[in-house]
Amino acid sequence: MLTITGVSGALSRTTSVTLVVNAALVPDFSLSATPASQTVVRGGSTTYAANISRLGGFTGGVTFSVSGLPAGATGTFNPNPATANSSTLTVTTAATTPTGSFVLTITGVSGALSRTTSVTLVITAPAAGDFSLSASPSSQTVSQGDSASYTLSITRSGSFTAAVTLSVSGLPAGATASFSPNPATGNSSLTINTNEQVTPQGSYVLTITGVGGGLTRVTSATLVVTD
């Protein structure tokens, strides 16, 4: 508090005022990251925004790094260093990266200043691999001694990548079957050849079986043999 005194002859009067002295602003910065949590399937990648809040006239570039990544995962920032107010962190995982929840610490350094923030990375396993079979057309009619063809569609899901070995049962007497290709990594064609002298007329349900990656799946088609 300051006291102000005024004097005139024998008269003396005073008043007071308050003087507040603020410390000079020190250049500084703080970090935040969005979103706070990301979920990614193992083998994939995800991104976060690392945000810089500049204080006290701070104008320096900030160099970023990240720690706490699980095995097999990498983290890169763009740009780095950042002279604007944000940088994008891209986290890329590997097929061998373990699943789980991981706290990542993002550090920003500029000169003697070092600031941190954190985010969560959740890694999940890919969907279990599987496949299904279908045959088209669902029915073919052929004269004795002629042939018929079906397209075998293999629909893959999840992480299934194995080749599928195909077989067929339920053929009438004298008929033979061949798949091309077999084993199949994509679709396959089934050709049925009948024997004019041996194959009897009638309607036959063919059971088509596919085996691959430890899984067995079946579908069916109808073969009608006429004279």
Q: Which fold has domain 28-124?
A: Immunoglobulin-like (2.60.40)
Q: Closest Cα to residue 120, out of 29, 36, 1, 178?
A: 36
CATH of domain 130-226: 2.60.40.10
> Residues 5-54: pLDDT tens digits?
888 988 988 899 898 877 778 899 999 999 999 999 999 999 999 999 99
> Residues 139-182: pLDDT tens digits?
999 999 999 999 999 999 888 999 999 999 999 999 999 999 99
pLDDT for 158: 83
Which residues in the chain are classed under CATH 2.60.40.10? 28-124, 130-226
Q: Closest Cα to residue 160, out of 122, 209, 219, 217?
A: 217
Q: Closest Cα to residue 103, out of 87, 123, 77?
A: 123
User: Cα–Cα distance between 159 and 128 in angstroms, integer?
Assistant: 6
User: Cα–Cα distance between 212 and 190 in angstroms, integer?
Assistant: 17
> Residues 51-108: pLDDT tens digits?
999 999 999 999 999 999 999 999 999 999 999 999 999 999 999 999 999 999 999 9
